[in-house]
Structure 1
Amino acid sequence: MRQTVRGGGVVTLKYLTSTKNSAGVTYFYLRRNGKKTPLGQGPIDSPEFLARYAEAMGATGGAVKSVKENSLAALCNAFRAGTTYKTKSKGYRAVLDRNLAAITEAYGEAPIAGLKPHHIRADLNKLDPHPANARLKTWRLLCTFANDSNWSPINATDGIKRGALPKSDGHTPWSSQDIADFRARWNIGSVQRLAMELLFWTGARTVDAVRLSPSMVGADGVLTFTQSKTGGKAYVPWTCHLPAWASGFEADRQHLLSCLQAGTFTYLETSSGKVRSEAGLSNLISAATRPGISAHGLRKSRLTAIAEAGGSASAIMSWGGHKSLKEAEDYVSTANRKALLIGTEQKQKSANKSDKSANKHSKKLK
């Protein structure tokens, strides 16, 4: 099957096929030389998709477009082959790849020597605040690499500041009613139910949830994994006794354990035994629940539940894998303010305040 991309002309994407799942989401694949390579979702005329298509074509013996010497496209290729790129986490490399593909698509033939700060500002001004700041991080890494490697005598990002972001609480946590409604709709045995219960119990991000496996559960009954985003360790009670403040969580744990199948390589592998993708997991949850909540909202729900149950900031850091105390303290602070209005026992607030005081005291000792 050939599909076309229309812009200033018409480009035919050879060997491109597509399938649509039960939720109506279309996924694309490259079928070439007997190999089927997943390309994810469209739109097929986006820079990100075209970059994935070009990479897959190269891996399967297809033609890869050559780039001009000392051009921005050549710099992007060199950066991908360098140490800085390779030391980033898999999840962050995916973010870099998207931005590098967009930069290459828009400005790839431009010479590095002509790149100036006003060019980068013009590129950022085309984007919304959050994508613009993410793009700026990529530009900074790229320009630092160019300067350090003598591609450019200057760092074109010097003096460019991050844009102001609109105030937002981010992903919406799932309410207890959202959880109950989901459980009523999706029975134990469905992949939707397993995915939700695993995300809800572990508080893991989707990038980490897809690789969680029985091998990560130690003899102490604790699931331990390293987070892709921060490199921090997360410790999730699996079969061990729950701490006293978390005794009310036992029902949630039993829901998850009832969903799990023994003998799998990862808890969320596909029916064909392959590791499920991060995007696939996010789409699965989004298609299975109400609009306005997402897979990441389950993480916020678990961490909020820990704080409201009387868990300390340290407990939130351990379960959620945070490397910074501030974010964990925000959950505790919010829970304490809420407790003033709904009559939560005072000892819960005291425990949380004591934990924060202990952490502040330990900082002074350092």
Structure 2
Amino acid sequence: MTDKYPGLSSYTDRHGKVRWRYRTKERDVSLPAPNQPGFKDAYQAAVEGRKVPKAPVVQMPGAALPGTFGAAFQRLKISVKWLALDEASKRKNTRLIEEFLELRVVTDHPLVWRNVPVKNLRRIHVEELLGRFIATPHKAKHLLVGIRKLVYVALRQDWIEIDPTAAVEWRPAYAGWKAWSREAMAQFEKRWQLGTAARTCYGLALWLGNRRADVAGLRWDQRVTRRVFIDGVERHFDGFDIVQAKNKGRTGGKRLFVPITPMLSEILDAADRRGETVLVNGYGDPFSAKSLTGMMAHWCKLAGLPKGLTLHGLRKSLGVYLAEAEASTRQLMDVLGHDDIDHAELYSREASQVRLAVQGMDRVVRLVTRKPMLGEPIGEPRGEPPYKA
């Protein structure tokens, strides 16, 4: 072996292991054994007096050190709660969490949060992270939700004992989606006649208060008649039996019966009935839920309406109608399918404020001037019609 590789020799170290080296008067270089990969390259480099470059360390996709945020995300993705999410929610959460994992802990150092042990996270770190997104406060709020999911995994695995995000509050101001004005509705209806997909989509969102997934998936066979007792009198109502798509994979979705109003009835009578779904495209096929956002923007543009009027804004418009009609918060929740009062009141806060302010100032006018109430009535009075014998 030494004849083939001049300068090569072996020796036994203090642990009894045979070692190989290239040895001359000028240098003494350790080498791998002749039967090991890379021996020839290392020997040639030793003869020439140059260093053998070390192989780069490549991190495999999805690799994570134990106890780190990267490991927490791996465990999160196999948890029951994660598997119960719908695909859209999984994609959204994955995108936000991956963005967090790739953020640098310190801007001028390569260490990213993926490789940081969860036990090293402190409240000040979370607040500094959220501060980076001060220009986009709602994104910061969703990022905090993603971090808390990882922290929850760490608590379940006993990697930590205390949640460092528990005292962190991040509640950006939220006014909700922009409701459509009466003028915008009239302009849209003038452009899109009954029977068009645009008008049908508009009517379902406005008069059922549906989200886009429920608008896209609403079927004709969901139209039913229900018996309802009101003030001791049995009445029959035509409506749709809807299971909301939101949280359907996790909780089964909320089931609602929403009655069909005369405004919606004329839209349904003129609708294209070639498919199973109420809303179909020019080929008689259903729209995808995701496509309706862009389609509504396109229809609004063709109607000459400004940007910012959305499909979800029609849902809010129904909430405003309910508020202006003095429907109770509970009635509003049962029409729109909300579970919490705070969320439901986002749809009616502005209308309630206007009405209550006018009613309050009207009392002042009556007290001070003894004159009739402010404003002039328009159209028929609201409320129960007078009893006629």
Answer whether TM exceeds 0.5 for this pair.
yes
1:80 aligns with 2:77: yes
User: Where does residue 322 of structure 2 map in the other structure?
Assistant: 306
Are the aligned partners of 1:307 and 1:335 in contact in 2 as well (CA < 8 Å)?
Answer: no
| Counterpart among 99, 112, 115 of residue 110 in structure 1 | 115
Letter in 1 for 2:149: L
Q: 1:214 to 1:104 in 2, by over 3 A?
A: farther
CA deviations on 1:269-300 (whole Å, 9 max, x unpaired) are: 55567653433212221232221322111011
Identify if the C-alpha distance between structure 1 residues 191 and 180 changes in structure 2 by more than 3 Å, giving closer, same or farther: same
- What letter is aligned with 1:209? V
Q: CA distance change for structure 1 residues 126 and 138 in 2, over 3 Å: closer, same or farther?
A: same
Matched letter for residue 293 of structure 2: S
SS in 2 for 1:68: coil
**Mapped partners of 2:98, 2:297: distance in 1:** 26
Among residues 219, 222, 229, which one is paired with 2:239 in the alignment? 222
* Counterparts of 2:205 and 2:276, CA distance in 1: 17
- Of the three residues 134, 147, 151, the one matched with 2:142 is 134
Q: What is residue 212 of structure 1 aligned with on the other side?
A: 218
Counterpart position of 2:12: none
Matches within 5 A, 1:25-64: none
Say whether the 8 Å CA contact 1:173–1:298 is kept in structure 2: yes
1:291 lines up with 2:307 in the alignment: yes
Could you tell me how far apart the structure 2 residues matched to 1:218 and 1:122 are? Answer: 53
In the TM superposition, 1:138-287 aligns within 5 A as 138-150=146-158, 152-155=159-162, 157-166=164-173, 168-220=174-226, 221-229=238-246, 231-238=253-260, 250=262, 252-270=263-281, 276-287=287-298
State the alpha-carbon separation in 1 of the partners of residues 74 and 225 from structure 2. Answer: 45
- Cα shift at 1:179: 1.0
CA contact (8 A) 2:69 2:150 kept: no
Distance 1:338 1:283 in 2: 38
Note if contact 1:189-1:259 (Cα within 8 Å) is conserved in structure 2. yes
Does the CA contact (< 8 Å) of 2:96 and 2:143 recur in 1?
A: yes
Q: Name the aligned partner's letter for residue 224 of structure 1.
A: D
Q: Distance in 1 between matches of 2:255 and 2:279?
A: 20
Residue type matched to 1:138 in 2? G
Q: How does 1:309-348 map to 2 (within 5 A)?
A: 309-325=325-341, 328=344, 331=348, 333-334=352-353, 336-337=355-356, 340=359, 343=377, 348=383
Kindly provide the amino acid, as one letter, of the partner of residue 207 in structure 1.
A
Residue type of the alignment partner of 1:267: V
3-state SS in 2 of match to 1:218: strand
Post-superposition CA distance 1:108-150 (Å, at most 9, x none): 6414346412443332222222221121122112211122024
Q: 2:284 and 2:316 mapped to 1: Cα distance? A: 29
Q: Following the alignment from structure 1 to structure 2, what is the Cα–Cα distance between the partners of residues 209 and 297? A: 13
Q: Check 1:223–1:339 CA distance in 2 against 1; reply closer, same or farther (3 A cut).
A: farther
Which is further off, 202-211 or 322-331? 322-331
Q: 1 CA distance for matches of 2:63 and 2:125? A: 20
Write 1 or 2 for the structure with the bigger share of helix: 1
Verify the 8 A CA contact 2:275 2:286 in the aligned structure 1: no
- The 5 Å alignment of 1:64-75 reads 65-70=61-66, 71-75=68-72
The CA RMSD measured in Å over matched residues stands at 3.3
Q: Structure 1 length as normaliser, TM-score? A: 0.63
> What SS does structure 2 have at the residue aligned with 1:302?
helix
SS of 1:184's partner is helix
Taking only the aligned residue pairs, the percentage that are identical comes to: 21
Query: Structure 1 regions of 5+ residues with no counterpart?
Result: 1-63, 239-248, 350-366
Question: Which shifted more, 108-117 or 212-221?
Answer: 108-117
Look up the equivalent residue of 2:320 and give its one-letter code.
Answer: T
Query: Aligned in 2, Cα 1:327/1:115: closer, same or farther, shift over 3 Å?
Result: same
The aligned amino acid for 1:157 is P
TM-score by length of 2: 0.60
Match of 2:46 in 1: none
- Any idea what SS the aligned residue of 1:299 has? helix
Q: Count residues with an aligned counterpart.
A: 273
Where in structure 2 are there 5+ consecutive unaligned residues?
1-59, 104-111, 227-237, 248-252, 301-305, 360-373, 385-389
SS in 2 for 1:123: helix
Q: Which position in structure 2 is the counterpart of 1:241?
A: none
